[in-house]
């Protein structure tokens, strides 16, 4: 007897369309991450050897070779199997953490679990962060969280916030009522660390305080300046022959808090470890993030096309970012990540306007972050 498994084609097709749109179209924000407004002061006599620069960091009680997180991308469609396997192989070889794409499809259709599980199949020692949307967790937070964690034996669980994407998406899920209560239930009953992440529009200091009070372990700011999910939804529908949401979604193409500003706001408002992500495109962006106080830097889009090729191609890009980071550390006299947080910086332009208007003393933020991380 043949058992027919009914699959929600809307979800699966949307996963494929998202990948194709991000790979083939320009879906970047038109606004800056504001990292260009940060200058690391050059040290002409660093008294260091580039070969002795140490990029190791500790995050959630694990040591990693370099402060890079392969951030959430995909899952739930056949094409995702290859992508996730290559990403996981690269993450394992580089000894860095990896976060999978939203597991909604895998929870709804068990025959799609393999597109996520392939990451764990690489190694039991790979640090994998699971991923579920807040809207799905609101309905049954504990059961869904446990199922997501068990699917990939996750070391941590990310809860992603995407109100912008859902609001501009055709048939998006726009019911966010009860979100904080759901997070509180999960943090009180789930044993693995809980990370809350945005999906490209950033997190403010005010929201960060609420999340910290809810008991989470870390925040991934995912600020504006990288991939615009409003743009993805606009172009995805255009490619299907519809401009149904253009007049609505186009207004929000550049909505959000720039990554550097979001990072400073969250560091200023909480004592949690913070992941800088959203438009991180090179090792210098990583160095600037760490100099502000980030514990880790999440990168997604640049790895996607590489993962379509091979794990070696992903590793090559990780090595490039690592080399760039090491040079930035050398040129600031920073032998390790700890010293980079004490390096001299100058902030100008829109970013200095932002922090002044918000009443934030960046040097005080850096000092408190240093004490928090290193005592």
Which CATH number do you get for residue 176? 3.20.20.70
> 10 lies in a domain?
no
Q: Alpha-carbon distance 291 to 344, whole Å?
A: 9
pLDDT band at 2 (very low <50, low <70, confident <90, very high): very low
pLDDT at 6: 47
> Per-residue pLDDT tens for 337-355?
999 999 999 999 999 999 9
- For the residues 3-24, what does the mean pLDDT come to? 72
Range of the domain at 134: 26-374
- For the residues 217-244, what does the mean pLDDT come to? 89
Q: Is residue 226 pLDDT above 80, yes or no? A: yes
- For the residues 237-258, what does the mean pLDDT come to? 84
- For the residues 37-59, what does the mean pLDDT come to? 98
Rounding to the nearest 10 degrees, give the CA dihedral for residues 278, 217, 272, 167: 40
Q: Who has greater pLDDT, 1 or 117?
A: 117
**SS3 (DSSP) at 245:** coil
- For the residues 247-265, what does the mean pLDDT come to? 94
> 345 lies in a domain?
yes
> 149 lies in a domain?
yes
pLDDT at 170: 80
Give exposure, 78-98, as e/b (b: 16+ Cβ within 10 Å).
eebbebbbbbbbbbbbbebbb
pLDDT at 240: 77
Q: Is residue 16 pLDDT above 50, yes or no? A: yes
> 4 lies in a domain?
no
> 33 lies in a domain?
yes
pLDDT at 244: 62
Q: What is the separation of C-alpha 306 from the centre of its chain, rounded to a whole number of angstroms? A: 17
pLDDT at 1: 35
Ordered DSSP codes for 258-321: BHHHHHHHHHHH--S-EEEESS--SHHHHHHHHHHT-SEEEE-HHHHHHHHH-HHHHHHHHHHH
How crowded is residue 53: how many other Cβ atoms within 10 Å of its Cβ? 22
Tokens (6 digits) for 163: 């109100």
**SS3 (DSSP) at 58:** strand
> 249 lies in a domain?
yes
pLDDT at 236: 86
pLDDT at 8: 57
pLDDT band at 332 (very low <50, low <70, confident <90, very high): very high
Number of domains in the chain: 1
Q: For the whole model, what pTM was predicted?
A: 0.95
Q: Is residue 9 pLDDT above 70, yes or no? A: no
Residue 174 burial (CB < 10 Å; 0-12/13-18/19+)?
A: exposed
The angle subtended at Cα 357 by Cα 352 and Cα 359, nearest 5°, is 95
Q: Contact, 98 vs 128, CB < 8 A? A: yes
List CB contacts of 182: < 8 A, sequence separation 6 or more. Answer: 134, 137, 138, 141
Q: What percent of the chain shows pLDDT beyond 70?
A: 97
> Per-residue pLDDT tens for 81-128?
999 999 999 999 999 999 999 999 999 999 999 999 999 999 999 999
């Amino acid at each position: 007897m043949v058992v027919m498994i009914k699959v929600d084609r809307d979800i699966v097709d949307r996963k494929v369309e998202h990948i194709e749109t991000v790979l083939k179209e320009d879906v970047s924000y038109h606004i800056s991450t504001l990292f260009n407004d940060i200058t690391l002061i050059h040290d002409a006599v660093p008294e260091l050897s580039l070969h002795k620069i140490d990029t190791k960091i500790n995050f959630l009680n694990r040591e990693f070779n370099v402060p890079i997180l392969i951030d959430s991308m995909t899952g739930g469609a056949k094409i995702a199997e290859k992508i996730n396997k290559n990403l996981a192989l690269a993450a394992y070889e580089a000894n860095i953490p990896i976060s999978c794409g939203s597991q909604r499809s895998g929870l709804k259709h068990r025959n799609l679990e393999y597109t996520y599980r392939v990451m764990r199949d690489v190694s039991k020692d790979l640090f994998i962060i699971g991923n579920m949307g807040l809207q799905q967790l609101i309905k049954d937070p504990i059961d869904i969280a446990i199922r997501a964690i068990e699917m990939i034996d996750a070391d941590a669980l990310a809860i992603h916030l995407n109100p912008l994407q859902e609001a501009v998406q055709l048939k998006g899920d726009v019911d966010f009522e009860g979100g904080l209560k759901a997070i509180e239930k999960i943090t009180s009953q789930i044993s693995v660390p809980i990370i809350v992440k945005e999906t490209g529009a950033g997190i403010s200091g005010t929201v960060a305080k609420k999340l910290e009070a809810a008991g989470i372990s870390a925040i991934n700011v995912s600020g504006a300046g990288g991939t615009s999910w409003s743009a993805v939804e606009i172009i995805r529908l255009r490619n299907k022959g519809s401009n149904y949401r253009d007049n609505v979604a186009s207004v929000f193409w550049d909505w959000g808090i720039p990554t550097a500003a979001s990072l400073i706001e969250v560091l200023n408002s909480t004592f949690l470890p913070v992941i800088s992500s959203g438009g991180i495109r090179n090792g210098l962006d990583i160095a600037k993030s760490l100099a502000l106080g980030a514990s880790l830097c999440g990168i997604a889009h640049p790895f996607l096309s590489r993962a379509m090729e091979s794990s070696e191609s992903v590793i090559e890009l990780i090595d490039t970012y690592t080399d760039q980071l090491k040079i930035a550390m050398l040129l600031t006299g920073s032998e390790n990540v700890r010293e980079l947080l004490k390096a001299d910086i100058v902030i100008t332009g829109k970013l200095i306007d932002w922090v002044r208007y918000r009443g934030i003393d960046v040097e005080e933020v850096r000092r408190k972050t240093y004490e928090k991380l290193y005592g």
